[in-house]
Amino acid sequence: MTRYARRFFSALGLSAMLAAGAAQADDGGKISIVDDRGVIVDDRGVAVEVPALPKRIASISYFADDVALALGIKPVASTYMTSGREPDFLLGLTSGMKQIGQRAKPNLELLSEAKPDLIIAIRRYTVGNAAQLQNIAPYVAYNMELLEESYSETAALSKLLGKPARGERLNADFRKHLSEFAAKAPKGHPRFLIMWGGATPFAFHTENTSASIVAAIGGDNIPGPKSPGGEFGIDLSLETMLEKDPEVIFVYDSGPDRPHESNPIWSQLSAVKNNRVFYVGDQWVETNGPIAREIVLREAAHYLYPDTFPAVDVKAEAAKLIPAELQN
């Protein structure tokens, strides 16, 4: 078995390891540390042997970049969302990491060249290449889709990176901030939609992390909740959109190609008529990390209730959460 081969443990063996030293990270993420190695059960339900204190993290998605930077650790490699654009919510610090391709199609050769000792990846885009990834370095996959997962994933990764208390504090702070913003929000329920642009837009159900945040401060998400066991989003035609007529629309800004705008129905929407369509950054899609969710909360509050909450300087907010020594 190669050095980084994925370890599949029997139920008895895994139970013994977890019972022997193991802790339940805040909100989830079982981790057992044994000598200089550890075992984590990821969102695939797979037990992965990892370094006890990894030093060279590769991130397939921005989630691990987000968590690591908030912990004062700079990853060595990262995928991107939109080519040539470094995310403001991470202060553009991904420019100093080895670029390993778009998150849906990471370049495994470039990833290998980065010599990571841990790969943290978005599950749905990487599970098909699990064996190849595991041959490069220990591969841990998270769903990175829902707000409830944001807490458990942040806690588990913080523990894995040797800073569990900081992870717990980041989770506690966000819960507190979410409650405070919700209490301050006006008593209205503006209809909203978060979508990827396209001829048939893809919209997020309420459980999705960014949609959950907007709903928590009073927004009424027109796609509604997901079905039990269903996907976190749905294709939503312009006709259906007009029928539900959102008052505020958040569109992930993936570039100049915006085919939805050429549909005549688009101009009939209340949000469009009232100039309440907002093209938003990567943090609205990669929201599960502690930096992204704090910024989305503040942006959502301002866009929904501009008379109550101030406009947001994304980089200034990010700088509050990323240690100064990483910013220089």
Please name each of the domains of the chain with its CATH number: 11-173 (3.40.50.1980), 183-327 (3.40.50.1980)
For the ranges 6-10, 95-99, 145-149, 322-326, which has the lowest average pLDDT? 6-10
**3-state SS class at 193:** strand
How far is the CA of 320 from the CAs of 53, 143, 165, 170, in angstroms?
25, 27, 18, 12
H or E stretch at 19: helix 11-21
Q: What does the DSSP assignment read for 255-273?
A: -S--GGGGSTTGGGSHHHH
pLDDT tens track for 222-281: 999 998 888 889 999 999 999 999 999 999 987 778 999 999 999 999 999 999 999 999
pLDDT at position 37, please?
A: 64
pLDDT at position 15, please?
A: 39
The pTM of this model reads 0.89
- Please state the φ and ψ torsions of residue 152, each to the nearest 5 degrees: -70, -40
How far is the CA of 185 from the CAs of 224, 226, 229, 275, 297, in angstroms?
20, 25, 31, 21, 12
Burial 136-160 (b: 16+ CB within 10 A, else e): bbbbbbbbbbbbebbbbbbbbbbbb
